[in-house]
Amino acid sequence: MKYGRFEYQGRIFFGIVKDQEVTELSGSIFDSYQTTSLTHALSSLKTLVPCEPTNFYCAGINYLAHIEWGNQRKGTQTKPPSKADIGYRSQNALSATGQPIIIPADAPGPVQYEGELVAVIGKKAKHLTEANALSCVLGYTLGNDVSDRGWQKSDRTLWRAKNCDTWKPMGPFIVTNLDPMNLTIETYLDGQAVSSYSTSKMIFSLQHYIEKITQYITLMPGDVIWTGVDNATIPDLQHGMVCDIVQKDIGTLSNPIVRLS
């Protein structure tokens, strides 16, 4: 199933996407819903972020080649994490496919993309194990963890390095019944392929993160877990570019870059 969240004539609703058609739902995909008889051409709707998480978790560092590339770039010796410590991003920064990634005039840069697989929680969950971890997941979407490497270096926390308004594009849709540990995540800048990696390379699996998180924390419907990025995340984002994060079943999360002057 492929779910989306849409706006049409001032109404906001969830829908089921099939090919280029959307069947409108009444209710919430995170609670209960009914299929209605209303259908829309996908192109006639505004696609919104597919969910509005209460809690916004992320894996932070979770792929070896990205760590090695960061160490080469910065001359650092960051080691792979020895355990699955989780990070956070902030909801203010969420943005839908098609919306601009706006870079403030004083951002020191470089500003870079990080195309990631995102797990969307469907059921309240605590004390899961790796074996049953995926039972709380409704489906998967894509995220672009836009980051200013200058602020990431200069600031004590990641607030503006990661959470400027519009810097967390998420979408386009939530797709069920995927294997989160065997997906290819691709990134394109102006249509040119710049990154491709397999989620099979995660240092700690999604299942492991969910087991660890739910040992202490209750996951809630609509919460999201961003699972990290692999590889280099270059070339840098520049004004006027379009950045696409692609997974063949989920679709394309596409955002133009606007740098304020």
- Beta-carbon contacts of 243 under 8 Å, excluding residues fewer than 6 positions away, are 101, 113, 144, 187, 188, 189, 237, 254, 255, 256, 257
Residue placing its CB nearer to a copy of itself in the complex, 87 or 176:
87
Pairwise CA distance, residues 232 & 91, whole Å:
26
Which CB atom, from 152 or from 252, has the smaller least distance to a copy of itself?
A: 152
Q: How far is the CB of 163 from a copy of itself (least distance, A)?
A: 6
Least distance CB 204 / a copy of itself (angstroms): 12
CB 135 within 8 A of CB 128: yes
User: Least distance to a copy of itself from the beta carbon of 159, Å?
Assistant: 5
Phi/psi region, residue 192 (left: phi>0; alpha: psi -120 to 50; beta: rest), is: beta
Distance in Å, CB of 56 to a copy of itself, minimum:
8
Element housing 67 (H / E): helix 64-74
Residue 43 to residue 181: CA distance in whole angstroms? 31
Cβ-based nearer residue to a copy of itself, 21 or 155: 155
Ramachandran sector of residue 131 (left: φ over 0; alpha: ψ -120 to 50; beta: rest):
alpha
Specify the residue, 39 or 218, whose C-beta has the smaller distance to a copy of itself.
Answer: 218
The minimum distance between CB 52 and a copy of itself, in angstroms, equals: 8
Q: Pick the closer one to a copy of itself by CB: 225 or 250.
A: 225
Cis ω on the peptide bond leading into residue 53 (within 30° of 0)? no
Q: How far is the CB of 21 from a copy of itself (least distance, A)?
A: 32
Nearest approach, Cβ of residue 81 and a copy of itself (Å): 6
Residue 176, Cβ neighbours under 10 Å: how many? 15
Chain residues binding a copy of itself by CB under 8 A are: 52, 54-55, 57, 60, 81, 83, 85-88, 90-93, 104, 126, 155-157, 159-160, 163-165, 213, 215-220
Nearer to a copy of itself, 88 or 123 (CB): 88
Output 19 or 106, the one with its CB closest to a copy of itself. Answer: 106
* CA separation for the pair 200, 198 (Å, rounded): 5
C-alpha torsion 228→230→236→241, nearest 10: -80
